[in-house]
Amino acid sequence: MKNALIAMFISFVAGVSIYLFMPTFAYGFYGLPFLLGFIGFVLFMFSSLRGKISDISRVDKKIYLTMIVIGFLFTIIIPIFSSWAAFHANSYRNLIGEVKSSNFTNDITPVGLTNIRVVDEALAAKLADKKLGEVPALGSMYELGKFNIQKVGNELCWVAPLEYRSIFKWFSSNNGTPGYLVVSATNERDVRLVQEVNGKKISLKYLKSAYFSEDLNRYIYTHGYMTKGFTDFSFEIDDNMNPYYVVTLYEKAVGYEGENAIGVIVLDPQNGKMKEYSIADAPKWIDRIQPEDFVTNQLDDWGEYINGWFNSITSQEGVLNVTPGMSLVYGDDGHSYWYTGISSAGKDNSTVGFVLVNTRTKEAHIYKQSGATETKAKASAEGMVQNMGYKATFPILYNIGGIPTYVMTLKDNEGLVKMIAMVSVENYSIVGVGKNLKTSLRNYKSALKSKGNVVALENDVDLKTLTSIISRLSVDVKDGNSYYYFQLKSEPNKMFVSTSSIADTIILTKEGDTVQIKFEEDTSNGVYDLVGFRNLNINLQKTEKQIKLEEKVRDLEVRKKDDNLDKKWENLSASEKAALLKK
């Protein structure tokens, strides 16, 4: 009878513990040994409370103490020897894989203004919450879940499910939550509440805010995943707008530590159907397999143990640190990457480069580029508008005309975007700020040129050169800067705009002057930004030093074109090369 009661007690404690805490029954996870030790300790204390410890039978003592010892060994002793970096520094360092040195301008294609992210997660949540408030019946029952950024087709957007507000709302709802919200990351006016797909109403049943058997975590755990580690519940939609949860499967690669992604579970939150994929076989619409914290830890270990564990706590020679914060950026290839800066130990204000890690494959590339950390870039942007008190969002890295550039929005105290800033990674004193992307880019170009940069900001953009007579000319002052607007006799339906940073002679230009201009044709409102300007009625005498400088610039441009041709030739197949040689 006594043994039966003990067995029932053990079963009850174990069952409740497993249901509540969901321990993973696999080597490297603390759940099972901790549970075993805990039950042994509870049984030992329960038995001793009934009388003296000496009254506990020898067999029971052995059982209880064995459970406690096993729990102690596998939660403290074995993890120390199997996981301590002093013994496994190389294993930790190699978890990220090979970090390849790469060239930024070769790998990351210059981005167009329409593809720059201006809506961050906080603003997306604010816009979506306002949209949800337009439907009172929904706003009282449901709230926004966590937003994830992803690319749906060619559109970059934030996506979040509707979650239950409380356990009472969950009890009163029979069919799950009725949809999700999509907020464009490039257009803050594009906010959508999606409640049906292909004529079928959406009903999200398995969620993080649900309870008991519908709790997302518990549902996965009790349906075949008690012995596997899973984490990072990302709500994503496929290219047909169907909603899913993408959950990362992982293993402990270094004893009880070294979390490493090995695959994903794709779960349909409407019907609970699940499918497991390896990293290589995961559907293409899935953006994120590698969790941010996994990548951060592995990059930390890669930089910290570059010369072993002992060096990392003594001289720290060669040690590299990951700068605070990590962002998700998208390449021209449609793939997403975790971005972070890399600094030398003890030098927190500057970077020696930055790293991009593919969010699916974990392929890592380092770009050796000294410059400012994200924190310094934010401070520089905020300094440009300090009288207004705007705060910068976390910077996103872009290739702006071949130059690594941080782009961030500047918000007021209400969290609304007021301005956009562009800051050079190499020199954070070069800043362009404007009320929109176009103005910000124009001011950024001016700042670059004022610092003596030879920049080909017209990459991948069609340029046109015109020579004509100015028919109308006017000057406008915005944010303390003078902008010169004019029209040409040969182009009466176009308006051109420039600043003196393009050419000093524009200050002296008047109606009737003949000018030669170079401009970008990628515009939609009939206003064109100038890349080059020359007043043919003004002939300034150049110094020998200036002539030599211009010759150097021309040589650099010719060399750059030659380099690009060489790269294009190397990328051609043998048949393509043969076809060109025949011509």
pLDDT digits (tens, 9 = 90+) for 117-145: 899 999 999 999 999 988 888 888 999 99
Q: What is the pLDDT of residues 152-190, one digit of tens each?
A: 988 899 999 999 999 999 998 878 999 999 999 988 889
| pLDDT band with cut points at 50, 70 and 90 for residue 549 | low
pLDDT digits (tens, 9 = 90+) for 57-110: 655 667 777 878 887 888 888 888 899 999 999 999 999 999 998 887 777 766
Same domain, 363 and 381: no
Please provide residue 502's backbone torsions phi and psi, each rounded to the nearest 5 degrees. -75, -45
pLDDT at 400 over 50: yes
Same domain, 420 and 436: yes
Residue 260: the pLDDT is 97
Closest CA to 249 of 222, 214, 278: 278
Q: Rounded CA gap, 227 and 213, in Å?
A: 18
Evaluated on CA atoms 382, 388, 393, 397, the torsion sign reads negative
Measured in degrees and rounded to the nearest 5, phi and psi for residue 545 equal -60, -40
Task: Determine what percent of the chain is predicted with pLDDT higher than 90.
Answer: 48
Backbone angles phi, psi at 488, to 5 degrees: -110, 150
Give the domain-ending residue among 337, 370, 403.
Answer: 370
232 within a domain of the structure (yes/no)? yes
Provide the percentage of residues in the chain whose pLDDT is more than 70.
84
Q: What are phi and psi of 3, to 5 degrees?
A: -65, -35
> Is 265 found in the same domain as 141?
yes
Cβ pair 148, 288 in contact under 8 A: yes
- Answer for the pair 289, 337: CB distance below 8 angstroms, yes or no: no
Burial of 168 (0-12, 13-18, 19+ CB in 10 A): exposed
By residue range, what is the domain housing residue 42?
Answer: 2-83
DSSP per-residue letters across 513-550: -EEEEEEE---SSSEEEEEEEEETT--PPPPHHHHHHH
Do residues 251 and 183 both lie within one domain? yes
Q: What does the alpha-carbon distance between residue 246 and residue 282 come to, in Å, rounded to a whole number?
A: 10
pLDDT, mean of residues 290-298 = 96
Residue 49 lies in a domain: yes
Q: What is the CATH number of the domain that holds 520?
A: 2.40.50.1010
Place of tokens 């074109």: 561
In this prediction, residues 524-537 reach a mean pLDDT of: 81
Same domain, 146 and 30: no
Q: Strand 327-330 relative to strand 99-101: parallel, antiparallel, unpaired?
A: unpaired
Residues 142 and 71 in one domain: no
d(CA 245, CA 234): 6
Assess whether pLDDT exceeds 50 at residue 234. Answer: yes
CA distance 518 to 467: 9
With respect to residue 106, please indicate whether it lies within any of the assigned structural domains: no
Instruction: Classify residue 142: in a domain, yes or no.
Output: yes
pLDDT, tens digit, for every residue of 201-231?
A: 999 999 999 999 999 999 999 999 999 999 9
pLDDT for residue 459: 42
Which residue, chain included where needed, has tokens 């994200």? Answer: 374
Q: Is the pLDDT of residue 351 over 70?
A: yes
What band does 349 get if pLDDT is binned at 50, 70 and 90? low
Two structure tokens written together for 534: 């020359």
CA–CA gap between residue 124 and residue 149 (Å, rounded): 10
As a whole number, the mean pLDDT across the chain is: 85
Whether residue 110 is contained in a domain is answered as no
- Predicted confidence band of residue 488 (pLDDT cuts 50, 70, 90): very high
Indicate the residue among 244, 278, 312 that finishes a domain. 278
Q: What integer pLDDT is reported at residue 56 of this predicted model?
A: 55
What is the identity of the amino acid at 376? K
Out of 126-140, 241-255, 443-457, least confident range: 443-457
Mean pLDDT, rounded, for 493-508: 86
Is the pLDDT assigned to residue 255 strictly greater than 90? Answer: yes
Co-location of 475 and 567 in the same domain: no
Instruction: Let me know if residue 94 belongs to a domain.
Output: no
Q: Calculate mean pLDDT across residues 252-261.
A: 95
Nearest to 506 by CA among 532, 529, 477, 468: 532
What's the average model confidence in pLDDT over 537-551?
71
pLDDT value, residue 236: 96
Task: Out of 106-110, 371-375, 418-422, pick the least confident.
Answer: 106-110
Q: Is the dihedral of CA 66, 19, 267, 132 positive or negative?
A: negative
Say yes or no: 386 and 440 in one domain: yes
Q: What is the pLDDT of residue 442?
A: 81
Residue 274 or residue 545, greater confidence: 274
Residues 257 and 121 in one domain: yes
Q: Where are the alpha helices (DSSP H) in 213-279?
A: 216-221
Side-chain-facing half-sphere of 293: CA atoms under 13 Å: 8
Residues 342 and 402 reside in one and the same domain:
no
pLDDT band at 467 (very low <50, low <70, confident <90, very high): very high
Residue whose token pair is 């409640």: 195
Give residues with Cβ within 8 angstroms of 171, minimum separation 6. none
Query: 28, 57, 83 — which closes off a domain?
Result: 83
Residue 285 lies in a domain: no
For residue 547, the model assigns a pLDDT of: 65
Amino acid identity, position 220: I
| pLDDT value of residue 86 | 93
Cα gap 241→152, rounded to integer Å: 8
Which segment, 286-300, 414-428, 540-554, is predicted with the most confidence on average?
286-300
The Cα–Cα gap between 445 and 368 comes to 23
Half-sphere exposure of 124 (CA within 13 A, CB side): 29
Tell whether 357 and 394 lie within a shared domain.
no
pLDDT at 546: 63
The answer to whether residue 96 is domain-embedded is no
Structure tokens at 391: 């705060």
Same domain, 550 and 521: no
Total domains, the chain? 6
Closest of 388, 398, 480 to residue 107, by C-alpha: 398
List, in sequence order, the alpha helices (H) in 405-515. Answer: 437-450
Residue 581 has pLDDT above 60, yes or no: no
Top mean-pLDDT range of 112-126, 290-304, 388-402, 437-451: 290-304
At 139 the pLDDT is: 85
